[in-house]
Amino acid sequence: MHTGILGGSFDPIHHGHLILARAALEELGLDRILFIPANQSPHKTDTKPTTAQNRLAMVKLSIEGEPGFDASDLELHRPPPSYTVETLRALRAQNPDDQFTLLIGADNVAKFDTWREPDEIRRLARLAVLDRANHDTPHDWPVVRRLVDISSTDIRARVATGRSIRYLTPDSVCDYIASEGLYRPA
């Protein structure tokens, strides 16, 4: 099996993530995309994300019934921060015959060599870039272009100010955010 790994905060997951995941699945010839919410990103230690359980629940709601999409709570069982190399080692141990492609946002490519054990990450997985349209990529990794540009930061701000997030994230996620009172001012 060839699995694409899509990690991130997913705070919240939105249609941009889902459209990009579907494009990566098809363009890179993957069998599935595994969404892995980070417990706490080592690159986002200045912000406190919504609880991991809420973010995982939103991921699961958004991919329910979607062929080729799965969610993993792997990083939520380890103490923060979440390091990609540890996740890949755990996945390799669980699935020794699988191939992995790590999907990396273009904004992280320039910082990739500062990640924990970047050479080991390259050994454990093929790397592919999730990039914006009409943007040059300074590497030879496969590139999947973003078709829409939606921001989790914008979604949180919209909820906090009482604006609609309909069409930005699946209805099931909109309903979950409302029922849990997420992103509202304290």
52, 78, 143 from 146: Cα distances, Å: 26, 31, 10
* pLDDT tens figures, 75-100: 998 888 889 999 999 999 999 999 99
Give the pLDDT of residue 160.
96
Give the pLDDT of residue 143.
84
Any idea which residue has 């320039």 for tokens? Answer: 110
DSSP string, 71-109: E--GGGGSPSSPPHHHHHHHHHHH-TT-EEEEEEEHHHH
Give the pLDDT of residue 134.
55
Enumerate the β-bridge partners of residue 2: 99
* Cβ 49 vs Cβ 9: under 8 Å: yes
- Main-chain phi, psi angles of 176, to 5 degrees: -65, -45
What are the structural domains, with CATH classification, of the chain? 2-149 (3.40.50.620)
Give the pLDDT of residue 141.
81
First to last CA, the chain: 45
Q: Please, what are the averages of pLDDT over each run of 10 residues along the chain (186 residues)?
A: 96 96 96 93 62 96 97 91 94 96 89 94 95 64 84 96 97 97 91
